[in-house]
Structure 1
């Protein structure tokens, strides 16, 4: 798969704090790659360096064989975390202005604006000023502005924040459609369930350096051991002695057994006591949310299954 964006050895410091410590990753054509990390990890600094809002102290950013100030920004779409469209400007006017900034033909832009307004349930809103729109509607307009000029690389910073479930589905469908048509997408979000559902690969940073980089399958193989959730009243000591159980967590009458990495679930189930009180029982893999929390808080409760670097 063609590499659209290469970040190599990126370092950036602010006064006495080193925000980025030599991170490297790629974003490929037609893929959705997540960039993850707790607040202050360096995600926004990375994105701002890619966008040319600031420049790294060391390292390189390459897009279509262009680097630094030579990168063609009109080929990149950007939805910032902090929304910021002029409030007293009409929807059509602000979107045409954004298209013009990207050197996109205005007659074609107008057609696409009307198409997207209809798709995102904003039909008839083209003459309404931004300040008359709800927060969710305003976010839809800014999203349209990010994709209107048919970018080859699309950077989305918390695109689902503040959206209702229906609007989230609309965004997800459009993001997938863009990837299917070849757009390389770099997505930053704290909503791990959506990341897990949508992304092909992920890059997680903490304290300005890489902690995870690989496909979702590779990350799951390394970190996502199986867990068994049992709803029913049982004595903790009876469950702690079951073979291949790393640790036990209890909440009310629900118990979660975290299993060793080499466990085969079907065979392991035979170890459960015959007198176990079970109203419900479920075995599944640890979620990306749990992996994120474990790494971000340095709890180190999840056993790793080897080095991971893609």
Structure 2
């Protein structure tokens, strides 16, 4: 079943054509990654699918009862609390009070979100992104459109989102997302759309190496020479809490963990296998 079909579609901004002669369809139960360089029109493509913008030329057909859309830029300066904003968005979608309360309780728990009564403009970028994602999921959509959904999320939250989207995929939700990193693309997508030269075309599914993210604390001067023998030190970065984060090929992760522990370090977080 085709949920969205585009036929000979152009989209212009002013006099400039951003998307040209796009003919493509999204089927029920697909999970699609949209990739391309910055400025190629990925966000505009999602807005087109969501009905936020209209085509300059061509036809867009939709057979969708409920869809969710999380734009690239989450709400920033709203003088609403998180719960007030999500409640307002749910009422716009026609949800009744009891339905909305039950849904918000589930979403707050799923996203480990404990800032219900905090004003949005005071929240961190990561928590604003969680609000953005939660509003897209309020009505349990049959198709979910996510623009850079990992943006602003810490590694724990990224892993949590990946696992939740996998659950939705198993429930036959159609998911389409833009991305730069490989975490979602390599662990979730069964189809890739590439945007380049104003065209949207089928991309190639590639098999890449599996990686794990490790966060640890310890004396870097003692640990780093040994880590350098295990992983590429270019992937190492300092965290705000004074610890460190490094990406390592999954086949070398056990060796890295042992190195850190033997040098008196402490493992704070270890992700599941992913592609980057």
- Give the TM-score, by structure 2 length: 0.70
Are 1:93 and 2:84 an aligned pair?
yes
Match of 1:173 in 2: 163
Report the alpha carbon displacement of residue 192 of structure 1 after superposing the two structures with TM: 2.9
Show the 5 A alignment for 1:2-81.
2-64=1-63, 75-81=66-72
Cα distance in 2, alignment partners of residues 85 and 193 from structure 1: 25
Cα distance in 2, alignment partners of residues 153 and 60 from structure 1: 19
Cα distance in 2, alignment partners of residues 27 and 83 from structure 1: 25
Cα distance in 2, alignment partners of residues 119 and 144 from structure 1: 9
Match of 1:146 in 2: 136
Show the 5 A alignment for 1:1-310.
2-64=1-63, 75-84=66-75, 87-123=78-114, 125-210=115-200, 212-213=201-202, 219-220=205-206
**Aligned CA-pair RMSD:** 2.7
Instruction: Specify whether residues 131 and 182 from structure 1 end up closer, same or farther in structure 2 by C-alpha distance, changes over 3 A only.
Output: same
Report the alpha carbon displacement of residue 31 of structure 1 after superposing the two structures with TM: 2.1
Report the alpha carbon displacement of residue 80 of structure 1 after superposing the two structures with TM: 0.5
> Which ranges in structure 1 are unaligned for 5 or more consecutive residues?
65-70, 227-281, 283-287, 290-310
Cα distance in 2, alignment partners of residues 85 and 146 from structure 1: 16
Instruction: Specify whether residues 131 and 15 from structure 1 end up closer, same or farther in structure 2 by C-alpha distance, changes over 3 A only.
Output: closer
Report the alpha carbon displacement of residue 225 of structure 1 after superposing the two structures with TM: 10
Q: 1:136-167 deviations in whole A, cap 9, x for unaligned?
A: 11211221111011111110000001211100
Instruction: Specify whether residues 13 and 137 from structure 1 end up closer, same or farther in structure 2 by C-alpha distance, changes over 3 A only.
Output: closer
Q: 1:21-67 deviations in whole A, cap 9, x for unaligned?
A: 11222222222101111112122222222222221122222111xxx
Cα distance in 2, alignment partners of residues 38 and 116 from structure 1: 32
Cα distance in 2, alignment partners of residues 137 and 15 from structure 1: 34
Report the alpha carbon displacement of residue 86 of structure 1 after superposing the two structures with TM: 5.0
Cα distance in 2, alignment partners of residues 16 and 137 from structure 1: 37
Cα distance in 2, alignment partners of residues 164 and 61 from structure 1: 36
Instruction: Specify whether residues 11 and 122 from structure 1 end up closer, same or farther in structure 2 by C-alpha distance, changes over 3 A only.
Output: same
Match of 1:276 in 2: none
Q: 1:218-258 deviations in whole A, cap 9, x for unaligned?
A: x33xxx799xxxxxxxxxxxxxxxxxxxxxxxxxxxxxxxx
Whether the 8 Å CA contact 2:75–2:128 is kept in 1: the answer is no
Cα distance in 2, alignment partners of residues 51 and 31 from structure 1: 16
- Give the TM-score, by structure 1 length: 0.63
Task: Give 3-state SS (helix, strand or coil) of 1:107's partner.
Answer: helix
Instruction: Specify whether residues 33 and 83 from structure 1 end up closer, same or farther in structure 2 by C-alpha distance, changes over 3 A only.
Output: same
- Give 1 or 2 for the bigger CA radius of gyration: 1
